[in-house]
Structure 1
Amino acid sequence: MEKPRQLPLELSHGTGYSRDDLITSPANEEAVALIDRWPDWPSPVVVFAGPPGCGKTHLASIWREETGAVQFNGASIGSGAAKLGAGPVLIDNIDAAPVDEAGLFHLINAVRGAGTQLLITARRFPAAWGITLPDLESRLKAAATVEIHEPDDLLLTGVVTKLFADRQIEVEPHVVQYIVRRIERSLSTAIHVVDRLDRKAMELKTRITRALAAETISALDEGQWDFDI
């Protein structure tokens, strides 16, 4: 049997972070517009906040590719801040671990002094990061914060359609709509559902039908398979 193919898109593999892979909808259009406006930003520091699977990392990766930004780890910012040049900086998923508050404070000052920009992505708004350093709290209040909402039907439909197209799989529109209406509002879930459907269809040597989609989504709902993002 042919070895199941791995999906080279989003979250785990860089090839899924290209501008060609980006689909815009009301859920993310404000953030996309800000990426397109760079470097004409309303503040040197911009925060993209939104739930897991909403596409923050995808947008951040596009911005990094287009700007040549240097990426820092949010838990150890101080170790890299001293090496900051005159270019932009990215910190992805900063609230996944306790924030290096002193490092972030000095980094923001350095970014402002260099006349460049800092893009931060997070699940929550800065007020929920548990910041205790008053000067850093003040700096973050001056940042421009953009909310990225959970994917709407338009975005999920576009993503699922493109995922199948990238695999050269023809799926009827009504099957795509069935998937979109029944999965979690998450791009990562959409990716893994398509991946599982592709594998299952290859194993059974069949087309991807509504029945196969129903079986796959039911297995997901019942916790019969897991994925880690």
Structure 2
Amino acid sequence: MTGGEDGRPPRQLPLALPAEAAFGREDFLVGPSNAEAAELFDRWPRWPAPVVLLIGPAGSGKSHLIAAWAGPAGARLIPAGGIAAVDPVEAIAAGPVAVEDLDRHRTARADDVALFHLVNAALGGGRLVLSARTPPEAWGIGLPDLASRLRAAARVSLGEPDDELLRRVLVKLFADRQLAVDPSVIAYALPRMERSFSGANALVDRLDREGLARHRPITRAIVADVIAELAGEAGGEAGR
């Protein structure tokens, strides 16, 4: 514990303990920005196409939605960087498959060829979910046949949250960390924070640490300090 000389409350150095996030379907909060994607996954296995593209920004809930679907569907999750090591026919024959973050973990042609064979196997009688932050047109795909097949896939998007969904997300994130936060504090944060799912995650993570450091409940004053710190850090990163 530190502090005290300047009159401020002593600060306890927080341990970086991971939060236990809940990834069940009942924990996936639905609003206008993600209703289409949630409705499609809720219709499993009555999907309009064997290959589904799930597109959305960081922290928008892609991994949560896939995790909630994968358990009941018996789906296998394959890392984007590991698809070249997988036999596509065997993988698809064993059941549904999901590959996440394809636009972040591709190694050009080698992965294009592997993904092409995986997509072909799914088109031959299987189910495949592919997630990314950006649509395939932005991936720099050098294999025309793969690009063509991805254009024909079913595509759903996750957008940034509206006010009500963002409020519910904050409530859930605090609950995941077993933090009791007054609704007025959340109402104070909403118009001032970065208005995105990733921004909500970053804010709650920092508030958790700051509350521990100050050994105090999370108040509007702490929220104001943390939002200012996050904005300053974002500005610094942008200027580099």
What TM-score bracket applies, with the shorter chain setting the length? 0.7 to 0.9
- Which of 149, 152, 157 is the matching residue for 1:142? 152
Task: Name 1:44's counterpart in structure 2.
Answer: 50
CA-CA distance at 1:82 after TM superposition: 4.8
- TM-score under structure 1 length normalisation: 0.86
Give the ranges of 4+ consecutive aligned residues of structure 1 lying more than 6 Å apart after TM superposition.
none
What CA RMSD, in Å, does the superposition of the two structures yield over aligned residues? 2.2
What is the identity, as a one-letter code, of the residue corresponding to 1:105? F
Task: Name 1:183's counterpart in structure 2.
Answer: 193
Task: Name 1:12's counterpart in structure 2.
Answer: none
Q: Which has the larger radius of gyration?
A: 2
Structure 1 residue 199 corresponds to structure 2 residue 209: yes
Residue identity over aligned pairs, in percent, reads: 45
Return the alpha-carbon distance in structure 2 between the equivalents of residues 35 and 179 of structure 1: 31
Structure 1 residue 96 corresponds to structure 2 residue 96: no
Tell whether the 8 Å contact from 1:71 to 1:91 is kept in structure 2 after alignment. yes
CA-CA distance at 1:111 after TM superposition: 1.3
Shift in CA distance, 76/7, structure 1 to aligned 2, threshold 3 Å: closer
SS of 1:223's equivalent? helix
- Which of 115, 125, 131 is the matching residue for 1:121? 131
CA-CA distance at 1:56 after TM superposition: 1.1
Return the alpha-carbon distance in structure 2 between the equivalents of residues 8 and 119 of structure 1: 27
- TM-score under structure 2 length normalisation: 0.82
- Structure 2, unmatched stretches of 5+, are 2-11
CA-CA distance at 1:191 after TM superposition: 2.2
Structure 1 residue 6 corresponds to structure 2 residue 17: yes
Tell whether the 8 Å contact from 1:76 to 1:103 is kept in structure 2 after alignment. no
CA-CA distance at 1:6 after TM superposition: 2.4
Return the alpha-carbon distance in structure 1 between the equivalents of residues 210 and 80 of structure 2: 39
Structure 1 residue 151 corresponds to structure 2 residue 161: yes
Tell whether the 8 Å contact from 2:55 to 2:158 is kept in structure 1 after alignment. yes
Which segment is superposed worse, 163-172 or 137-146?
163-172
CA-CA distance at 1:130 after TM superposition: 1.5
Return the alpha-carbon distance in structure 2 between the equivalents of residues 83 and 124 of structure 1: 28
Tell whether the 8 Å contact from 2:41 to 2:69 is kept in structure 1 after alignment. yes
Alignment deviations for residues 182-225 of structure 1 (CA, whole Å, 9 cap, x no partner): 2223323312322222232233232211111000111111119x
- Structure 1, unmatched stretches of 5+, are 10-14
Which segment is superposed worse, 190-199 or 29-38?
190-199
SS of 2:156's equivalent? strand
